[in-house]
Structure formats: C-alpha cells, structure tokens
Structure 1
Amino acid sequence: MAGLYVYSVLVVLLLTCGAAMATKENDQIIKENNCETKMGLPCFLEAFTSIFETGSISNKCCVELVVLGKVCRSALAKRTLENPLFKDLRPATIIAKSIQAWNNCLALIDSPSPSA
C-alpha cells in the first residue's frame, strides 16, 4: 500500500515539476497530443512501474497504453528521464523497456481472443 502512495507522489511530481524541467520538444508533443489526459492514473502507474521498475501491464492497461499512442508513450518516457529524480537510471534500458512494453501490448491486443 505504501508503494502505491510513493508512486502516486512520483506521478504528481512528474506532472508538476517534470513539466517545468522537460525539453520544449517533449512538452510540445505532450501538449499537442493531450498525452497526460489519455490514460487513467491506475494504468499510468502500472505502466510506469513496468517500465521504470519491475512488473507487467494488465490487458486493460495495455488497451489504455495503445490508445495513448506511440508518440505519447515515447515523449512521456523521455520527459521522465529528464527529471533529476531519475538521474541514476540508464536511459537506454528505460527506452528499451518502454518499447518492449509497447510491443507486448500491441501483440496482446492484436492476438485473437480464445473462443469459449
């Protein structure tokens, strides 16, 4: 339960402090595509955890991630990496995990559902 609180605080920091520190390019992409409003907080936290920590993304959140779109996913991941709170992370690893999460969700959504 404390973990959820910590992630909630991190998300608030990312959306407030991170916006001021992000590059204009990522900010513009995020603003033009309404990226911060396309995904619910629970799914955002789930995706964030799977990319920046360890975990998986549920089917429901995979749908939200795909609706978010590749451009938004990439811009949000890059903006997060620009935040000083995450200076110890390896950008190449995070970008690779972000792409892997995207590809896994696409494959899950594109696969036919089993018949009953």
Structure 2
Amino acid sequence: MASLNVYSVLVVLFLTCGVVKATKENDQIIKENNCETKMGLPCVLEAFTSIFNTGSISKKCCSKLVVLGKVCHSTLVKRTLENSLFKDLNLTTIIAKSILTWSNCLALID
C-alpha cells in the first residue's frame, strides 16, 4: 500500500510541469500536443510502473497510451528522466522498458 502512495506522488510529479525540471523543448512538445490530459491517472500509474519499476499495463491502458501517441510517450519519459528524483536510474534500462512498453501496447491493440 505504501508503494502505491509513493507511485502516486511520483506520477503527480511526472504530470506537474512546475515541479519537474524539463527542458523548454520538452515542455513545448508536451504543451503543443496536449500530452498531459490524454490519459487518466490510473493508466498513467500503470504505464509509469511498467517503465520505471516492475509491472504490466492493461489492454485498456495500452489503448490510451497509443492514443496518447509516440511523441507524447517519449517526451514524457524524457522529461521524467530529467527530474533529479530519477538521476540514479539506469538510462539505458528505462529507455529499453519505454520502447518495450510502447511496442507491446501496439501489438496488443492491433
């Protein structure tokens, strides 16, 4: 239960432009594509957990992730990695998990 609360806080940080230190380029992409309003919190939690921890993403949330779009998906992951809370994560592993999550969702909904 405590881990769910930690993930909820991390997702809020993930979604909050003012808290997350993001490059202007990433912020601009997110704003132009309306990335932060296309998925509900439960699906954001699933996607976040599948990329930044160990977890899976449901077919329902995969559909929402694909609607979110590859540009938004990639940019939100990049912006999250810019946050100092995630500085100790293995960048290669996170990017690989991000690509795997995206690819699995595409395959699942096709």
- When normalised by structure 1's length, the TM-score is 0.89
Unaligned runs of 5+ in 1: 111-116
Aligned residues: 108
Equivalents in 1 of 2:93, 2:71: separation in Å? 18
The runs of at least 4 aligned residues of structure 1 exceeding 4 Å deviation read none
Q: Could you report, residue by residue, the CA deviation over 1:1-57 in whole angstroms, capped at 9, with x for unpaired residues?
A: 222211111122232411xx1001111110000000001100000000000001110
Structure exhibiting the larger radius of gyration computed from Cα positions = 1
Equivalents in 2 of 1:3, 1:28: separation in Å? 31
Equivalents in 2 of 1:9, 1:78: separation in Å? 18
Equivalents in 1 of 2:105, 2:11: separation in Å? 22
> How far 1:103 sits from its partner (Å)?
0.4
Unaligned runs of 5+ in 2: none
Alignment of 1:74 with 2:74, yes or no, is yes
Q: Cα RMSD (Å) of the superposition? A: 0.9
Alignment of 1:17 with 2:6, yes or no, is no
> How far 1:90 sits from its partner (Å)?
1.4
The one-letter amino acid paired with 1:3 is: S
The one-letter amino acid paired with 2:43 is: C
